[in-house]
Amino acid sequence: MKQSVKNNIIGLFENHFNESVSNFEAFPPSTSYREYCRLINANRSVIGVFNADVKENEAFLYFSKHFRNNNIYAPEVYAVNKEKTVYIIEDLGDTTLFQFLTATREAEGFSDKLVAIYKKVVKELPRIQVLAGKNIDYSYCYPRAAFDKQSMMWDLNYFKYHFLKLAKIPFDEQALEDDFLVFSNYLFSASNNYFLYRDFQSRNVMLKGEDICFIDFQGGRKGPLQYDIASLLYDGKADIPQSIREELLDYYLLELKKYIKIDEAGFKDYFKGFVLIRIMQAMGAYGFRGFYEKKEHFLKSIPYAMDNLQFLLQGLNLPIRIPELIKVLTTVSQSEILREIGRNHKGLTVRVTSFSYKKGIPDDLTGNGGGFVFDCRAINNPGRLEQFKELTGKDKAVQEFLINQSKMNEFMELVFKLVGLSVRNYFKRGFSSLAVNFGCTGGQHRSVFAAEKMAEYLKDNFPVNVILSHREQIL
């Protein structure tokens, strides 16, 4: 946390309470771009928040006040700066539902104690969705006032671009877009005149003594009932047993019936569809945070999402045809590479190097002592021809020569198969490093071309970190 932000938060505390801060504790970075801290003195402990997104802050501040006015336990807001970028709220402690779940499960499994806590949480959900939703001002919602078709398409494309593409899952782009449209139209036909919490999962529920408290609801908007209960029950790493999910869903429906009339069969028909879109939205986040931002702990959630997909696809019976989407989800759910990435979240780094045999084989800097060394000297050498002497394997003229006047393509096809076999096995065995070296006489033409093509092949076919270097290349 920057010193200027820290000073602003402390200043707001001291101005509001007319007290000094004795202890300031900045929290580790979270999944959002908000920054949190705890401020303590002899009289109180509160949470300070900085967020540059004013509209998101306005949504949180309004929803918190609205929930409290409707007897739903959200943190009390004590003070807000005039720019609405810094605010101080009630300290709800450190125990999230997920932390309680993890600790209890390690000691006694998914016990009756856990089921009872989840039922307390589930009992509150209809009050949030129906009672609080009746008189809420949806103009505060950000970035959308409703979970409409555009919101759904955002989530589906988030999954496509930040998970499928980064995880190298093949798909027909037009067919998948067509299925996204059919799928979103179907989901939008569900009754959607309720408050949708949007991120109703175990990390956003706090346990304070006997109280159930709620946080991170700033993404709330108008929407369908099924989405939030789907988010809670299919919360990836919470990994709730399927029999408990069914019990909790039935309990939720009993509670919901106290507030509105529902068609239980119709509700459940839509439910699996909303579970699917929630899982896809979550996997988009795993891909963006894990593959793109390199925050490796997000990749550990991938196997849980895969297990949920496998279960859902077995009994899926939607009244629509979405063949490409089903094909893609099936591929994701059965991918051993993705499963191993989730288990071995440090990922696999492949170092691809071109070199000259005159200067020796590259040293292994990882200490593994393994990998491949491919000798390209049997391939026709463009370096013997005057027009290529000052060029390298990265130049188009050299590449055309190697493709059209040598056996380089046949050579590389065999290399791709062999290296691809090892990459898959390295994933399964949890290895973190592999070396692939290409040597030729001068390290300028054939080996450079081969290394470039290998790096391209790896990036196009596997979610690996590729480090490409040309040891002898003249720059």
Residues 196 and 224: their CA atoms lie apart, in Å, by: 7
At residue 464, the pLDDT reads 83
**Boundary residue ending a domain (342, 358, 385):** 342
Instruction: Name the one residue in this structure whose structure tokens are 């949920």.
Output: 308
Number of other residues whose CB lies within 10 A of the CB of residue 474:
9
Residues 319 and 30: their CA atoms lie apart, in Å, by: 39
- Are 285 and 142 within one domain? yes
**Boundary residue ending a domain (90, 116, 150):** 90
At residue 465, the pLDDT reads 82
- Are 420 and 327 within one domain? no
Highest mean pLDDT among 100-109, 367-376, 401-410, 427-436: 401-410
Mean pLDDT over residues 129-151, rounded? 94
Residues 152 and 270: their CA atoms lie apart, in Å, by: 14
Instruction: Name the one residue in this structure whose structure tokens are 């001002």.
Output: 137
At residue 159, the pLDDT reads 98
At residue 462, the pLDDT reads 84
Determine the distance from the C-alpha atom of residue 191 to the mean position of all C-alpha atoms in its chain, rounded to a whole number: 28
Residues written for the chain: 475
- Are 254 and 303 within one domain? yes
The DSSP code for 287 is I
Split at pLDDT 50, 70, 90, the class of 369 is: low
Residues 309 and 329: their CA atoms lie apart, in Å, by: 7
- Are 37 and 132 within one domain? no
Mean pLDDT over residues 129-137, rounded? 93
- Are 177 and 263 within one domain? yes
Q: Sign of torsion, CA 265 267 268 270?
A: positive
The CATH number assigned to the domain holding 82 equals 3.30.200.20
Residues 47 and 452: their CA atoms lie apart, in Å, by: 51
423 burial level (CB within 10 Å; 0-12, 13-18, 19+): buried
- Are 122 and 163 within one domain? yes
- Are 306 and 360 within one domain? no
**Of the ranges 15-29, 149-163, 290-304, which one carries the lowest mean pLDDT score?**
290-304
Percent of the chain with pLDDT over 70: 97
At residue 366, the pLDDT reads 67
8 domain residue, yes or no: yes
**Spatial CB neighbours of 16, under 8 Å, sequence gap ≥ 6:** 78, 79, 88
Split at pLDDT 50, 70, 90, the class of 79 is: very high
Is the pLDDT reported for residue 253 higher than 70? Answer: yes
Which phi-psi region, left, alpha or beta, contains residue 206 (left: φ > 0; alpha: ψ -120 to 50)? beta
Which ranges of 380-471 would DSSP assign to H, the alpha helix? 396-404, 408-429, 446-461
25 domain residue, yes or no: yes
137 domain residue, yes or no: yes
At residue 365, the pLDDT reads 66
Split at pLDDT 50, 70, 90, the class of 199 is: very high
475 domain residue, yes or no: no
- Are 406 and 452 within one domain? yes
Mean pLDDT over residues 405-419, rounded? 94
Split at pLDDT 50, 70, 90, the class of 337 is: confident
Reported as half-sphere exposure (CB side, CA atoms, 13 A), residue 188 has a value of: 14
| Token output for 47 | 């949470």
12 domain residue, yes or no: yes
Residue 436 three-state SS: strand
Total domains present in the chain:
3
At residue 31, the pLDDT reads 66
Is the pLDDT reported for residue 346 higher than 80? Answer: no
Split at pLDDT 50, 70, 90, the class of 223 is: very high
383 domain residue, yes or no: yes
**Boundary residue ending a domain (300, 315, 342):** 342
Residues 276 and 313: their CA atoms lie apart, in Å, by: 9
Which ranges of 18-111 would DSSP assign to H, the alpha helix? 54-69, 97-108
- Are 371 and 310 within one domain? no
- Are 278 and 318 within one domain? yes
At residue 274, the pLDDT reads 98
133 domain residue, yes or no: yes
Is the pLDDT reported for residue 30 higher than 60? Answer: yes
Mean pLDDT over residues 244-268, rounded? 96
Number of other residues whose CB lies within 10 A of the CB of residue 402:
26
The CATH number assigned to the domain holding 129 equals 3.90.1200.10
At residue 459, the pLDDT reads 86
Q: Exposure pattern of 265-277 as b/e (b: 16+ CB <10 Å)?
A: eebeebbbbbbbb
- Are 232 and 293 within one domain? yes
- Are 238 and 148 within one domain? yes
Residues 246 and 240: their CA atoms lie apart, in Å, by: 10
Q: Could you list the residue range(s) of the whole structural domain that residue 43 is in?
A: 3-90
pTM: 0.77
Identity of the residue numbered 93:
G
Mean pLDDT over residues 236-261, rounded? 95
Split at pLDDT 50, 70, 90, the class of 475 is: very low
Mean pLDDT over residues 36-45, rounded? 96
Percent of the chain with pLDDT over 90: 81
Is the pLDDT reported for residue 368 higher than 70? Answer: no
Rounded to 5°, angle at Cα 177 from 171 and 181:
140
Identity of the residue numbered 369:
G
**Of the ranges 58-72, 244-258, 274-288, 459-473, which one carries the lowest mean pLDDT score?**
459-473
Q: Exposure pattern of 427-457 as b/e (b: 16+ CB <10 Å)?
A: beeebebbbbbbbbbbbbbbbbbbbbbbbeb
